[in-house]
Chain A
Amino acid sequence: MLNGLWKLTWIETKVFVREPMGVIMSLALPVIIYVFLGRTLGSDSPTATSVEAPPFNVAILAALVIAIGGVSSLVTVITIYREGGILKRLRATPLSPVTILSAHVLVKLLFTLLSLGALVVAGRQFFPGAMDVNLVSFAAALLLGTVSILSLGFVIASIVPTARFAQPISAAVLYPMIALSGLFFPIEALPSALRIVAYTLPTTHAVSLMQGVWDGSGWAAHWVNVVALILVFMACTGASTKVFRWE
């Protein structure tokens, strides 16, 4: 089943890197948000516990932007490949459908890690002590969240009619999810209908898990979020096998 997966992933990585704008955006945007908001909102450190500290964890916002940006980029790539008949051509080879799509997931996860790396470097540069967190654990939380949101990306890619609508539709679906993620205000403060929506969104659980890793309460304390992310992944993957369009 994995026939060709590594080769295809490597090719898709090179193809992605050959379009420098996409790479620069995926690496720079989270850093810019992190540094800019950290500077404007906080004192010197965006996570300092002083009175001037920002009202939310800017590093987690930046991490979420990494995940969302990756998903948005995935939706765009998939719709362009569908429109150009590339998906159809790949499907007419012994590559399995899962392999064709997994290659894109792996590329996005690779760039999620690279973006996180850029964020850590920037954090250490601009806010000494700010990134004082278990990075392996944080990266794992971010990857799990990203995988879960990426699976939603395949559902979004199925409803996007043409490549021209990929960016606006994924932005319209994904960015409100950041607002509802509990990062800016507690979910308990939301009206009950919105609260239910918030709890079904993978972003909410990704934020909660990352916050848990950040403040040291750890994975065990956030097992509910882990389970929720896995459930979203399974539900969206299941839905994708039904609604995903190859052409």
Chain B
Amino acid sequence: MPTPVISVSHLAKSYGSTVAVDDVSLEVQEGEIFGLIGPNGAGKTTTMECVEGLRKADRGTISVLGLDPRRDATALQKRIGVQHQEAHLQKRIKVWEAIDLWSSLYPRVVDTEALLAQLGLEAKRDAWFMTLSGGQKQRLFIALALIHDPEVVFLDELTTGLDPQARRAIWELIIKIRDRGKTVFMTTHLMEEAERLCDRVAIIERGKLIEMGTPAELVERHCPELRVVFSSEGNRVAELFADVPSVRSVCSEGSTQTLRGEGEDFVTDVIHVIARENIRVKGFRTEMPTLEDVFLKLTGHAIRD
């Protein structure tokens, strides 16, 4: 096992009597996109800001690139890039001025013109921050987080409040960051986002880390059940699937047949029976469980409560 880029053990942080983070331990490996997922107020941002060194933990130890984020803050700042949740800049600062200021602060910076072009901001060089759209603002913050070619990038609720199109554009950018060998530590309360982007996720709720793994692993572990839904007029469909081992149950409502089952062979088995028995099928779909289902199962409520 290589040395993790980020290592957090037994992190705890309270604000007055409110416990924000309670005994969180996790490790992030080099070159992966690691997502901290959970509802708003679960402790994601507090955890991330302790790791960034912006907040002092009450208990626990944190190491980022082998450094202590509080003690070695100056050294660490040069090697990490951050983007904050709902961040702003000066309303009337121009895009190029922000880029210029940030560039002047680091000993080594990337080609900022290329960075702006890559993020689709070159036409906005002279625009005031306040005139940028939500997606443009977030892309500018990504630019500022990447300007010094950091080894680890922290992204907190990056796409919150963006329309689906802007969100997808940002997702592509994040995947590109990872593909250039960077480590990405992100938070999100959007399960679709986590599923699309993250190599590994940790589910955090009420300050506690309740599960961790790749999205596929978590689905496999907690919601292994698949569903096949198809329409067929036949009234003895249920009987035809009765002795297929991978099929757990068949539910017929009018012409809609819902089959539940588990295992790698389930969908193939169902198709095989349909073909063998020559069942006339109108519409056929497979429903795969998602992280959203895992979250619901683990916490007993939907994430958007």
Q: A188 at interface (Cβ–Cβ under 8 A)?
A: no
Which residues of A sit under 8 angstroms from B74, Cβ to Cβ? 94
Chain A residues lying within 8 Å of B78, measured Cβ to Cβ, are 94
- Chain A, residues 157-177, CB within 8 Å of chain B (1/0): the string is 000000000000000000000
Please, how many angstroms separate the alpha-carbon atoms of A3 and B78 in the complex? 13
> Is B72 part of the contact surface with A, judged by Cβ < 8 Å?
no
Complex Cα distance A4/B54, Å?
20
Which of the 9-residue segments A14-22, A37-45, A124-132 touches chain B? Answer: A14-22
Q: Which residue of B lies closest to A8 (CB)?
A: B101
Of B85-93, B229-237, B270-278, the one with at least 4 CB within 8 A of chain A? B85-93
User: B102 contacts the other chain (Cβ, under 8 Å)?
Assistant: yes
Set of chain A residues within 8 Å of B106, measured between Cβ atoms: 94
Whether a CB of chain B sits under 8 angstroms from the CB of A7 is yes
Closest to B128 in A: A18
Which stretch (A54-62, A84-92, A204-212) binds chain B?
A84-92
Interface size of A as a range: 20 to 34
Which of A4, A7, A12 makes the CB contact (< 8 A) with B90?
A12
Asked if A89 and B90 sit within 8 Å, CB to CB, the answer is no
**Interface 0/1 of B48-80, CB less than 8 Å to A:** 000010100000000000000000001001100
Report A-chain residues with C-beta under 8 Å of the C-beta of B179. Answer: none
B124 lies within 8 A of chain A by Cβ: no
Residues 88-107 of B, flagged 1 when their CB comes within 8 A of A and 0 if not, give: 11111100010011101110
Nearest B-chain residue to A91, judged by Cβ? B54
Q: Is A93 an interface residue (CB 8 A)?
A: yes
A101 to chain B, nearest CB (A): 14
Q: Which residues of A contact B77 (CB under 8 A)?
A: 92-94
Q: Distance (Å) between the CB of A178 and the closest chain B CB? A: 30
B82 at the A interface (CB under 8 A): yes
Report if B84 contacts A (CB, 8 A): yes
Interface residue tally for chain B (C-beta within 8 Å):
23
Query: Does A196 belong to the interface (CB within 8 Å)?
Result: no
Question: Is A11 part of the contact surface with B, judged by Cβ < 8 Å?
Answer: yes
In the complex, which of the residues B89, B97, B100 contacts A89, with contact meaning CB atoms closer than 8 Å? Answer: B89
Set of chain B residues within 8 Å of A3, measured between Cβ atoms: 104-105
Query: Per-residue 0/1 for B29-56: is the Cβ within 8 Å of any A Cβ (1 yes, 0 no)?
Result: 0000000000000000000000010100
Q: Would you call B93 and A15 a contact (CB within 8 A)?
A: yes
B139 CB to closest chain A CB, in angstroms? Answer: 15
- Asked whether A85 lies within 8 Å of B90 as measured between CB atoms, the reply is no
Q: Are B101 and A19 in contact (CB under 8 A)?
A: no
What's the nearest-Cβ distance from chain A to residue B134, in Å? Answer: 15
A95 interface hit (Cβ, 8 Å): yes
Q: Is the CB of B92 within 8 A of A85?
A: no
Q: A211 to B74: give the CA distance in the assembly, Å.
A: 46
Q: From A95, which residue of chain B is reached at the shortest CB distance?
A: B105
- Determine how close the nearest CB of chain B comes to the CB of A29; give it in whole angstroms: 21
Contact A93 to B102, CB < 8 A, known contacts A15-B92, A86-B89: yes
Answer whether A19 and B92 are a contact pair too, CB < 8 Å, given A88-B84, A93-B77: yes
Given the interface contacts A11-B93, A93-B77, does A85 sit within 8 Å of B84 by beta carbon? yes
Contact call B84/A92, Cβ cutoff below 8 A? yes
Please, which residues of chain B bring their CB within 8 A of the CB of A12?
90
Contacts A84-B88, A94-B77: A11 and B97 contacting too (C-beta < 8 A)? yes
CB contact between A86 and one of B54, B90, B128 (< 8 Å): that residue: B90
Residues of A near B102 (CB, < 8 A) are 93
Q: Chain A, 72-85, contact with B by CB distance < 8 Å: what is the 0/1 string? A: 00000000010011
Measured in the bound complex, the distance between the Cα atoms of B92 and A19 in whole Å is 8
Q: Give, as a whole number of angstroms, the nearest-CB distance from B210 to chain A.
A: 28
Is B52 in contact with A92, judged by CB distance below 8 angstroms? yes
Contacts of B92 on A, CB cut-off 8 Å?
14-15, 18-19
Complexed CA–CA distance, A4 and B104 (Å): 7
Which residues of B lie under 8 Å from residue A18 when comparing CB positions?
A: 92, 128
Sample of 19 A–B contacts (CB below 8 Å): A3-B105, A11-B93, A11-B97, A14-B92, A15-B93, A19-B91, A85-B87, A85-B88, A86-B89, A86-B90, A88-B54, A88-B87, A89-B84, A89-B88, A91-B54, A92-B77, A93-B102, A94-B74, A95-B105
Given contacts A3-B104, A11-B101, A15-B93, 7 further A-B contacts (CB under 8 A): A4-B105, A81-B90, A84-B87, A85-B86, A88-B87, A91-B54, A94-B78
B-binding residues in A (CB < 8 A): 3-4, 7-8, 11-12, 14-15, 18-19, 81, 84-86, 88-89, 91-95
Would you list the 4 A-B pairs with minimal beta carbon distance, nearest first? A84-B88, A18-B92, A85-B87, A15-B90
